[in-house]
Amino acid sequence: MRYMRLGEPTLSALVLGVKLARAQGERMAEDSMLQQLRRRFPDAPQTRELLRGVPDK
């Protein structure tokens, strides 16, 4: 999360962040990065893959 605050995160940084947050059980961090993916990269295949099975908010 600290890295993400330094500037505009890239698609790959957000994808990695979501995967790390999931592995560590950091639900709030995961949700935050998923929201950014939805907003910034809605059509990216990586976004669709990570959002599969996640309820819309």
- Classify residue 31: in a domain, yes or no: yes
Any domain includes 56: no
Domain hosting residue 43, numbered range:
3-51
| Structure confidence at residue 9 (pLDDT) | 87
CB atoms within 10 A of CB 40: 14
Position 27 in a domain: yes
Q: What pLDDT score does 16 carry?
A: 93
Tell me whether residue 25 is in a domain: yes
The verdict on residue 14 lying in a domain is yes
Q: Is residue 42 part of a domain?
A: yes
pLDDT of res. 54: 75
CA 24 to chain centre: 14
Residue 21, C-beta contacts closer than 8 angstroms, at least 6 positions apart: 27, 29, 30, 33
Q: What is the pLDDT of residue 32?
A: 92
Number of domains in the chain: 1
Q: For 1-47, how does the pLDDT look when each residue is reduced to its tens digit (9 = 90+)?
A: 555 566 788 999 999 999 999 999 999 999 999 999 999 999 999 99
Q: Is the pLDDT of residue 53 over 90?
A: no
